[in-house]
Amino acid sequence: MNKHDKKEKEKQEEKHQIKLNKLINENKIKDTNKTPPNIDKTNVVNNSDVILTEDQLKVLSKGLKFALTPRSINIVDLITNTENSLNNVPNVTKQLAVSEISTFIKLWKKPKNTNIDVKERKALKELKNMENIVITQADKGGKVVVMNKQDYIKKIEEILKDKNIYEEVANPTNLIKTKISTLADRLLNLKRINTNMKNEFLSIEDLPKIRGQPKLHKKEQPMRLITSTRNTILSTLSKFAFSFIKQLRETLKHTICNTSKFIKEISNIKIEENDNLIIIIILITIIIILITIIIILITIIII
């Protein structure tokens, strides 16, 4: 190596060293500016006999809707869930959505970073393996509640054993399947559905399930029962009936789709001094009940 090459090499090394030092200093500044996240562990109520670790509380405090950064994508599930969620939209829209999802899958790469650290991931696995506890959400306030599994089941069974409210029946699966099959044959003969839709009506046999949400704001924290009918024996038939209700709703001049819209509508109403608020509330309630009855009757007539 001649003197000129050696000098040029040293010059390049010095240049790269300056860049390296600059990057190191910048990263140091970033690290010093980082403040540890404020984890609100009061969001977790531990009513179980298990003593939870700091990392377990940290994971639970993120809430039950917290989603982990995916390490991989289940393509079949993703496309199936997309199609199911777009069940009541036009086929053109559905095809466009599936096309967009397909493009996303092709471009998707495994993320370099994850939204939980190694300790939190370990804590999550530990919680998952604890078969003696149940992790659920409080009835109000959005708190995460940890309960002994036995206590959770006992509180739910106490409600279900109340003969004034509930009645024990035999497994109705076969009876419901027979009725759905008869109805599906009738609709098929009337050319309201095709063979594929008939098969969809009979594709799910699972009955609705219940889960409990403890009422932390009440004495002895009683349970509120939630019935989950998603992906159960009547789900497909319910979606079919809803498609008619949706068409009917579009023909009405005045509709209330949800609570938010109702609040927005009544917020613009001015109540005069001579107006009786109780009468207004009663009238609104009667109107809502009448609309519900009409929709149910029309659905029965159509089916």
Compute the average pLDDT of residues 165-169.
Answer: 88
pLDDT at 9 over 70: no
Neighbours of 236 (CB within 10 A): 21
Instruction: Name the pLDDT band for 35 (thresholds 50, 70, 90).
Output: very low
Instruction: Specify the 3-state DSSP secondary structure of 269.
Output: coil
Q: Residues 132, 117: contact at Cβ < 8 Å?
A: no
Report the Cα 143 to chain-centroid distance in Å. Answer: 16
- pLDDT at site 10: 60
Question: Nearest 10 degrees: CA dihedral of 43, 46, 52, 57?
Answer: -10
pLDDT at 136: 94
pLDDT band at 24 (very low <50, low <70, confident <90, very high): low
Query: For residue 226, what is the enclosing H or E element?
Result: strand 223-228
How confident is the model at residue 30, as a pLDDT? 46
Q: Which two tokens stand for residue 297?
A: 């009757």
**What's residue 72's pLDDT?**
80
What is the DSSP secondary structure assignment for residue 64, as one 8-state letter?
T
pLDDT of 244 reads 76
Q: Where are the alpha helices (DSSP H) in the chain?
A: 3-33, 54-60, 75-85, 91-107, 118-128, 149-160, 173-189, 195-201, 235-251, 259-266, 277-302
Taking the domains of the chain in order of start, what are their residue ranges?
Answer: 252-303
Tens of pLDDT, residue by residue over 69-87, are 887 877 777 777 777 777 6
Q: Answer yes or no: is pLDDT of 240 > 80.
A: yes
Q: Give the residues across from 136 on adjacent strands.
A: 145
Q: Is 257 helix (H, G, I), strand (E, B) or coil?
A: coil
Assign 298 a pLDDT band (cuts: 50, 70, 90): low
Instruction: Place 108 in a pLDDT band, splitting at 50, 70 and 90.
Output: confident
Tell me what the pLDDT averaged over the chain comes to. 79
Phi then psi for 87, rounded to 5 degrees?
-60, -35
Lowest mean pLDDT among 14-23, 43-52, 103-112: 14-23
Query: Token digits for 26?
Result: 């910048």
The pTM score is 0.62
Rg for the chain, CA atoms, rounded: 29
Average pLDDT over residues 157-172: 90
